[in-house]
Structure 1
C-alpha cells in the first residue's frame, strides 16, 4: 500500500471515529425514559437535570435527594435530608446541587458524586418558606414565599462557596399578600436581572440584583398557581401546578414584557411543580398536592416534548 493510499484510509477512519460522538449523543437523548415511577411516599417537589442523563429530586417530606437514571430508571437516595423539605433544585457544572430548604429556612449544597453536604446555610430562623433557586454566573439566588426577600450565595473564584448568605429585600411592584408569594425564579434573557413568579396572584416580576421589582407586562394575562420556571433563550416556561398546565411565554430581551404564546397539559399531569430539560423534552415531578400523602402514596415523574 502506498503512503498516499494509507493516508487516505487513515483519514477516512478518523472521520468515522470523530463523527461518532454526536450520533451517540443523539442516541442517548432519543433512548431516555419519558416517564418513570418514584418511591412510594417520597413526596417530590424539585427536579434538576444536568448534562448527563440523571434527574435529581428533592423530597418535601424529609429532604432526601433521589437520583434517577433517565436511561434505565435505576434510582437511589444519594444523601439523606435534615428532616425538613428539599424543594427547588439547581445543578451546576461542578455537579453540585443547590437545594432550597422550604419551611426549614435553610439552603444546602450537595456534591452529587458522593452525596456529601458541602455547605449548609441558615437563611432565616423566623417562619419562612425557602421555595426555589436559580444559578446565575456568580451567585445562587433563593426565593422565600413567606417573606419579601431574596437570599444570595455569592460564588467566588472557580465557584467557591461563601461563608454566609446575603439578604436582599424585595422592593417595588412585588407586594406580598396572603398565600404563597414568590416561588419559581429564573434569569432574564439578557442575564442582567431575575424573574420571579408570585403564585397567589399569577403575576411575573423582573427583580434586579438590588431587589427592586417591576411587574412584567403580560398584556392582561396571568399564570395563577405559577411554580417552577424554565428559561430557554427568550422563552419562559411556567408550571401552573394545580391547574396542570405548562404555559409558554415569549419575553423581550430585558423581560419587561411577555406574550403568552400557548399552554399545554397532559393526562399524566397530577399537580406537577418544577421543571427541567433534557434532550428534547421537559421533565416534571408530579407532586400530587391534592392527594393525601401517606407512606403508600404513589409518585412519578413525567415529560412532554419541548413546544
Structure 2
C-alpha cells in the first residue's frame, strides 16, 4: 500500500471509530486557554456550576465574529457599529468593551494571547484594527485601499492575516520584533494564486494557521478548502471527502479536527478530520444545537464549541436578540 493510501486508510478507520462511538462527533473537550500576561480573566462562579447554554449579546448588534480570550473570557463584535463586548462563558455576562462608532464594522476577530491584543476585520470598510485586550484601547488601525470585504483573521508569529472575500488576496499586517506594530501605512496585500480562484458570491472566508505554518482557508461559494502559503500566496486545494462544505463560514481548528461553521445554509458545524499537514480531510460528522440560528463563527473553550448566532434571516435585525450558543461535543 502506498503512503497516500495508508494515510487515507488511517483517516477512514479513525472516522469509523468516531462515528461508532455513542454521542461522539468531535474531538475531546478543549482546555481553557491560559491567561496572557497583563490580562485579567472575568470572574466566574465556583467550579462545578454548569456553564449557561447561551450568552446574550446586545440587541440589534448584528454579531458575527467571536474570539477566545484569557480563561473563560470571550469577545464578540457588531456589524452594526463596530462595537465589541467582552463576556464570560461561565457567568453568561457581557460588558461593553469597545464603543461603537458610526460607519465602523466588526466582522472576524482573533485574540493575540502573547501580546494581549484583539484584532478585528472591518468588512467593507477595508480596515483592520487592533485593540488592547484588557482595556479596549485602540492600538492601531490600518485602512487598505481596494479592499472588498475583509472577513476573517488569523495571527501568526510574524503577521496578522485577513481574508478578503471579494478581492483575491490576503491583507497582511506585519509584526516586528517582539510583536511591534507597523505604522498606519504598514499593511500590505498578498495576491492569492494557484488552485483558489474567485467566482461569484463569498470566496475566501474562514482562515486558520496549521502547525506547518501554512494557512487553511475556506471558499464559501464552492465549499472547498485550501492550503495557502503565507509567504507567497500560492494555494493548493485540500481534497475533502464526505458531505458538502458549501457556504462554510468560520473555521475552528484544534489538533486534527477542523470545525466548519455552516451559518449561511444551516444550523450546525461540520467536523472534518484532517491528515497530517492538512493535506486532505474527511467529514466525519457534525455538531449542532436546537438553539442555533444561522451561526457564523466559533471558538473552542471550556469543553465545548461556542457559536455566534448571526440570525441572517430574522425579519427585523436591528431589534432582534442575539446569542452565543454552547454546543456540546460529547
User: What TM-score does the superposition give when structure 1 sets the normalisation length?
Assistant: 0.86
Partner of 2:95: 76
Query: Quick check: 2:154–2:160 contact (8 Å CA) kept in 1?
Result: yes
- Counterpart residue number, 1:6: none
* Cross-structure match for 1:284: 307
Residue 232 in 1 paired to residue 251 in 2? no
Q: Give CA-to-partner distance per residue, 1:155-211, whole Å, 9 cap, x none.
A: 1222111221121100011110110111000112x3320011000111111111110
- Distance in 2 (alpha carbons) for counterparts of 1:306 and 1:139: 32
> For residue 252 of structure 1, what is the aligned residue in structure 2?
275
Provide, for residues 238-265 of structure 1, a one-character-per-residue CA deviation record: whole Å limited to 9, x for no partner.
1011311211111112212111111122
- Residue matched to 2:320: 297
- Secondary structure of the residue that 1:132 maps to in structure 2? strand
Are positions 1:171 and 2:190 aligned together?
A: no
1:47 alignment partner, one of 54, 66, 72 = 66
Give the gaps of 5 or more residues in structure 2.
Answer: 1-43
CA distance in structure 1 between the partners assigned to 2:226 and 2:49 by the alignment = 36
In structure 1, the partner of 2:155 is 135
Q: Secondary structure in 1 aligned to 2:128?
A: strand
Q: Secondary structure at the match of 1:295?
A: helix
Q: Deviations over 1:82-137 (max 9, x none)?
A: 4221011111113210001001111000012111100000123x351000001122
Say what the alpha-carbon RMSD is for the aligned residues: 1.9
Contact 1:141 1:152 (8 Å CA) reproduced: yes
Q: What pairs with 1:143-292 in structure 2 (closer than 5 Å)? A: 143-163=163-183, 164-188=186-210, 190-209=211-230, 210-219=232-241, 221-241=243-263, 242-292=265-315
Asked if the contact 1:250/1:260 (under 8 Å) is kept, the reply is yes
Corresponding residue for 2:106?
A: 86
Structure 1 unmatched runs, 5+: 1-24
Which residue of structure 2 aligns with residue 15 of structure 1?
none
Looking at both structures, which has the greater relative contact order when contacts are Cα pairs under 8 Å and sequence separation is at least 6? 2
Q: 2:82 maps to what in 1?
A: 63
Give the CA deviation at 1:27.
Answer: 6.0
TM-score, scaled relative to structure 2: 0.81
Which position in structure 1 is the counterpart of 2:18? none
Return structure 1 stretches of 4+ with deviation > 4 angstroms: 25-31
Q: Distance in 2 between matches of 1:293 and 1:160?
A: 42
105, 108, 112: which one pairs with 2:129? 108
Q: Name the SS of the counterpart of 1:262 in structure 2.
A: strand
Q: CA distance change for structure 1 residues 256 and 78 in 2, over 3 Å: closer, same or farther?
A: same
CA distance, structure 1, for counterparts of residue 239 and residue 92 of structure 2: 41
- Please state whether the residue corresponding to 1:222 is helix, strand or coil: coil
- Equivalents in 1 of 2:125, 2:260: separation in Å? 25
What secondary structure is seen at the aligned counterpart in 2 of 1:67?
A: strand
CA contact (8 A) 2:59 2:321 kept: yes
- Give the secondary structure class of the aligned counterpart of 2:295: coil
How many Å separate the matches in 1 of 2:220 and 2:311?
A: 17
